[in-house]
């Protein structure tokens, strides 16, 4: 029995690294396939286009919010604003490294997509329809972005107004409780 257990332990010592190496190689190959899929979907290009689109949309949204202020949008003010927004957005977007994002995303694709899915996605994006979609997607987003930002802008005003109302009601209730507790303590102390 001791010999059998010793033999099993010895066998485990030699086979576990073999399985582990194969699993590591399989995972490495799978991650390369996922990276190939992300390359086929032009993820880096899409990210860059998204950054540029966000810069433009956020800029317009902030510019619209300035119209509500007591500030005339002269050429001088517009230039100061544009310079500030450009520098701020370039700095913040520059802190985001697409390579890091892609590497961070790979395990999530690994979790939810099978090898067959990954291969099918790669195959699709290599077709004329897939390439046409990749060409059209950023244009669609650029066309849609102003409408989305306008919708978000009006929603944000409503959300802000409602939040302020709720905060005022909350503060009034807290103050009422605080006053009640103060009176109770004073009554107790008498």
Q: Across all residues in the chain, what is the average pLDDT?
A: 78
Q: Please give the pLDDT value at position 18.
A: 47
Q: What is the pLDDT of residues 155-188, one digit of tens each?
A: 777 777 788 888 888 888 888 898 888 899 889 8
Does 41 have pLDDT greater than 60? yes
Q: How confident is the model at residue 10 (pLDDT cuts 50, 70, 90)?
A: very low
User: In this structure, are residues 56 and 141 in contact, taking their beta carbons and an 8 Å threshold?
Assistant: no
**Measuring CA to CA, which residue among 4, 31, 11 is closest to residue 110?**
31
Cα 165 to Cα 117: distance, rounded to the nearest angstrom: 49
**Measuring CA to CA, which residue among 58, 37, 45, 63 is closest to residue 139?**
45
Model pTM score: 0.50
How many helices, marked H, and strands, marked E, lie in the chain? 6, 0
Q: What is the pLDDT of residues 88-120, one digit of tens each?
A: 777 776 777 778 888 888 999 999 999 999 999
């Amino acid at each position: 029995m001791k010999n059998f257990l010793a033999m099993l332990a010895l066998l485990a010592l030699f086979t576990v690294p073999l399985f582990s190496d194969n699993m590591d190689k399989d995972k490495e190959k799978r991650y390369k396939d996922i990276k190939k899929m992300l390359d086929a979907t032009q993820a880096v290009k899409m990210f860059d286009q998204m950054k540029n689109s966000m810069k433009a949309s956020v800029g317009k949204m902030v510019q619209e919010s300035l119209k509500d202020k007591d500030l005339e949008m002269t050429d001088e003010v517009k230039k100061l604003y544009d310079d500030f927004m450009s520098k701020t957005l370039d700095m913040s977007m520059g802190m985001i490294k697409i390579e890091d994002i892609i590497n961070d995303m790979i395990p999530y694709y690994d979790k939810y997509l099978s090898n067959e899915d990954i291969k099918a996605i790669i195959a699709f994006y290599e077709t004329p329809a897939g390439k046409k979609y990749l060409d059209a997607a950023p244009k669609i987003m650029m066309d849609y972005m102003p409408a989305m930002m306008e919708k978000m802008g009006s929603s944000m005003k409503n959300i802000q107004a409602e939040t302020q109302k709720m905060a005022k009601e909350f503060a009034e209730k807290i103050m009422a409780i605080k006053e009640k507790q103060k009176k109770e303590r004073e009554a107790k102390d008498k």
